[in-house]
Amino acid sequence: MDDERAVAPEERKPLRRNLLLGAMFGMGAAIGTALGLPAVIYLFFSPKSRKPSEWTEAGGIAAIPPNAPVEIAFHRKRVDGWKVVSEKTTAWVVKHPDNTVTAFGPQCTHLGCAYHWTEAGSGFLCPCHTSLFSIDGKVLSGPAPRPLDRYDTKIEAGKLFIGRLRPSVETRA
């Protein structure tokens, strides 16, 4: 109580002004941080640094009959600039008698048309320019310049995981 009386009113003004200035700068700093933090997160923690897994689960392999190719559809995540997009794609999957699996990319290696396994089982036929591929992806006839592209594959607990699509490099003789 004696201290209050000891400070003259004109001496209290600078103290009050300093408190108000401190509060204003504090609020400004808090607002600046609140607005700037999302920008910092956007810049330094972009989707590129949160790369999606290379492997996509494409279902169980128990129901796939050996040496009878089936087309399997699956969704995989892809980084497109700042966005991570989920896109539907397919693979032609061949299960071998020893339970290993080969998965081919869905596009013909000539001009990219979608091909299919023939009902007669004579191979993968592309309807655009009639390229024919064997069950192991090799070119049997037609203008396709190289075998079918293959996905990386792995099997875990009876489930097929599909990885990166590897372009084939072998050329026709």
Q: Which of 93, 125, 144, 162 binds ligand FES (CB under 6 A)?
A: 144
- Verify binding: residue 143, ligand FES, rule CB under 6 A: yes
CB of 166 to ligand FES, least distance (A): 19
Spell out the SS3 assignment of 5-34: HHCCHHHHHHHHHHHHHHHHHHHHHHHHHH
Q: Which stretch binds ligand FES (CB under 6 A): 2-10, 30-38, 47-55, 104-112?
A: 104-112
Across-strand partners of 165?
151
- Verify binding: residue 84, ligand FES, rule CB under 6 A: no
- Verify binding: residue 131, ligand FES, rule CB under 6 A: yes
| Nearer Cβ to ligand FES (93/148) | 148
Q: Which of 142, 146, 155, 165 binds ligand FES (CB under 6 A)?
A: 142
CB of 111 to ligand FES, least distance (A): 4
Q: Which two tokens stand for residue 169?
A: 């490099």
CA 36/CA 43 separation, integer angstroms: 11
Q: Which helix (H) or strand (E) holds 35?
A: helix 9-44
CB of 138 to ligand FES, least distance (A): 14
CA 60/CA 157 separation, integer angstroms: 9
- Verify binding: residue 168, ligand FES, rule CB under 6 A: no
- Verify binding: residue 126, ligand FES, rule CB under 6 A: yes
- Verify binding: residue 163, ligand FES, rule CB under 6 A: no
CA 2/CA 4 separation, integer angstroms: 5
- Verify binding: residue 41, ligand FES, rule CB under 6 A: no
Residues 6+ apart with CB under 8 A from 143: 110, 129, 131
Task: By CB under 6 A, name the binding residues for ligand FES.
Answer: 108, 110-111, 113, 126, 128-129, 131, 142-144
